[in-house]
Amino acid sequence: MAEKTDVLAALSQIIDPDFGKDIVSLGFVKNLVIEGGTVKFTIELTTPACPVKEQFRSSAEAAVKALPGVSSVEVTMTAMQAKQRPQGPSIDTLKGVANVIAVSSCKGGVGKSTVAAHLARAIQREGHKVGLLDVDIYGPSLPTLMETRQPEVLMRQQLIQPVAVDGLLTMSLGYMMGDKPAVMRGPMVSNYTMQILKQTDWGVLDYLIIDMPPGTGDIQLTLVQQAALDGAIIVTTPHQLSLVDVARGILMFESVNVPVLGVVENLAWFECDGCSKRHYPFGQHAGTLRERFGVETLAELPILQGLPTAARRNSGENIPEFAALADGLHRAVGMRRLDAEALPKVETSHSAIIITWPDGTRRRAENRALRASCQCALCVNEYTGVKTLDDASIPADIHAEQVQPLGNYALAITWSDGHSSGIFTWEHLKEHSVPLDSVKPGILKSLIGLGN
């Protein structure tokens, strides 16, 4: 008969491709029971939509069944529960929703609603139960995308019932308004927005995708706080004016502890009929986004003529980038949920910022030099890439007044000169720092005594 140590050793050969570790050390294997020749255990994944779920199941069955004395293997696949977030009151209608994801943009016209709708369809085609909520009061796109104008919206026990469109649960204020413009002031908009958020009866869902209003104002901030989001996706286009706004969205979400899971670059490329090659008319920015903001690009979506609506389950299935986006979302949610990656620790002083990496390495970034290296739109021309910040204008005694971690990818630093729009990735900080053991002892002593 196989022993538990034999089973765990066999299962430890299965490596999670996202974390680069085996499923035993990650704590995925639970409830291991051996009854004669039968081995039973549970694999608890980070999310029920894990892209490698079936691969893990088959690999685990094969690995354990190959052990001497094992006649049968029973594998139960489960998923971690979403972690409760501390801020904001809970919303009863979202209690049955496993993942609440915001799709946001900081300016209009970048295709945010189209991306949200086709992302929802792509997840639905994987066999998951999905809802799509349109909270853009001034320009609701869902009725058009779903080809569902002024449907009958029902109330049951004082809750709004979602409108099912080919299996996808949807809700939008546009269903009730029709083509009439929303002529409302801010407080009224907030009231309608919160009503549709709190009173829609979603039931049990694997994912609720929220199509956010564009911008980073009070309405967006209230929505983010009230919905207790599991993460956010920011949609942009390769145009420089759109890229400028990405930082604002990242800072808004991270300021209320909502992780930015990645960026979707819409209208990025087209395929030429004559040469069948991809052309990037605005340039390729996926690497630039990673360098500038530290977040991953989940998908680069093509320029398409006559993109079909999202009214049917198979809408967009011929566009592989939407399936890739759904896959990237699942992986990003899983990695955030496990919190497997230890983050560097940051100390500030009037002379420098000191960073301690998880491996114990300590580095020092001199304040004035780090401020001078800022790559934000106020310091570097977004079109030419030429630095516009005059280093001579930086005060000699400049220091960080506030340091805000941005997920596991960057820091936002508010400087004593009032500058606060810079995002410094961990890679950038490593590049613009020196090992602490290379600092002269006299300088090190002064640094230790000058903490904020």
Are 308 and 411 part of one and the same domain? no
* In a domain? residue 300: yes
Residue ranges of the chain with per-residue pLDDT less than 70 = 82-90, 138, 178-190, 216-218, 240-244, 285-288, 308, 339-342, 438-452
| CA-angle at 131, arms to 159 and 16, nearest 5° | 135
| Domain limit, last residue, from 275, 309, 338 | 338
Which residues fall within 8 angstroms of residue 58, CB to CB, at 6 or more apart? none
Domain-embedded: residue 352: yes
Beta-sheet pairing, 130-134 with 205-211 = parallel
pLDDT of residue 452: 38
Phi then psi for 174, rounded to 5 degrees? -65, -25
Enumerate residues 6+ apart whose C-beta is below 8 A from 83: 337
The Cα 3–Cα 222 span in angstroms is: 54
Asked whether residue 256 is domain-assigned, the answer is yes
* CATH label of the domain that carries residue 353: 3.30.2020.30
Considering the domain architecture, whether residues 288 and 355 belong to the same structural domain is answered as: no
Asked if residues 65 and 30 have their Cβ atoms less than 8 Å apart, the reply is no
The domain boundary, picked from 26, 51, 79, lies at 79
Which of 79, 100, 115 lies at the terminal end of a domain, its last residue? 79
Rg of the chain over Cα atoms, rounded to whole angstroms, equals 25
Residues 6 or more apart in contact with residue 264 via CB below 8 angstroms: 115, 233, 234, 235, 236, 297, 298, 299, 301, 325
Verify that 371 and 438 share a domain, yes or no.
Answer: yes
pTM assigned to the model:
0.79
In 3D, which of 134, 116, 143 has the Cα closest to residue 196? 134
Task: Give me the pLDDT at residue 85, please.
Answer: 44
Kindly state whether residues 57 and 103 are assigned to the same domain. no
Q: In the prediction, which pLDDT does 90 show?
A: 56
Write out the residue range of the structural domain in which residue 167 sits: 92-338
Residues 414 and 364 in one domain: yes
E strands present in 202-305: 205-211, 231-236, 260-271, 278-279, 297-302
Measured between alpha carbons, how far is 19 from 332 in angstroms, rounded to an integer?
11
Report yes or no on 85 lying in a domain. Answer: no
Q: What is the pLDDT of residue 429?
A: 93
Q: How far is Cα 321 from Cα 409, in angstroms, rounded to an integer?
A: 24
What's residue 190's pLDDT? Answer: 62
Chain centroid to CA 40: 34
Question: Looking at the structure, do residues 184 and 269 belong to the same domain, yes or no?
Answer: yes
Q: Does 317 fall in a domain?
A: yes
351 and 325 both lie in a single domain: no
Specify whether the CB–CB gap between 398 and 418 falls below 8 A.
Answer: no
What amino acid is encoded at 279 in this protein?
A: H
The H-assigned helical ranges of 263-350 are 286-293, 320-338
Nearest to 322 by CA among 338, 342, 339, 302: 302
DSSP bridge pairs for 269:
302
**Same domain for 334 and 360:** no
Q: Look at residue 87 and tell me if it is in a domain.
A: no
* CB atoms closer than 10 angstroms to residue 339: 11
Contact by Cβ (8 Å): 268, 238 = yes
Q: Are residues 192 and 276 in the same domain?
A: yes
Same domain, 10 and 104: no
The reply to whether 86 falls in a domain is no
Report the alpha-carbon angle 129-100-57, nearest 5: 55
Does residue 240 sit in the same domain as residue 146?
yes
CATH number for the domain harbouring residue 238:
3.40.50.300
CA distance 21 to 23: 7
Query: Phi and psi at residue 31, in whole multiples of 5°?
Result: 55, 45
Please report the sign of the dihedral spanned by the C-alpha atoms of residue 185, residue 189, residue 190, residue 192: positive
Helix (H, G, I), strand (E, B) or coil at 345: strand
Residue 96: CB atoms within 10 A of its CB come to 13
List the CATH number of the domain containing 38: 3.30.300.130
> 90, exposed or middle or buried, with CB in 10 Å at 0-12, 13-18, 19+?
exposed
The H or E element spanning position 10 is: helix 4-11
Pair (266, 206) in one structural domain: yes
Specify the DSSP class assigned to residue 339: T
Give a yes or no: residue 279 inside a domain: yes
CA–CA distance, 290 with 296 (Å, rounded to integer): 6
| Run of H or E including 224 | helix 218-227
Taking phi first (over 0 means left), then psi (-120 to 50 degrees means alpha), and beta for anything else, what does residue 319 get?
Answer: beta
Q: Please tell me the total count of domains within the chain.
A: 3
The helix (run of H) or strand (run of E) holding residue 405 is: strand 400-406
Q: Residue 73 burial by CB count (10 A; 0-12/13-18/19+): exposed, middle or buried?
A: buried
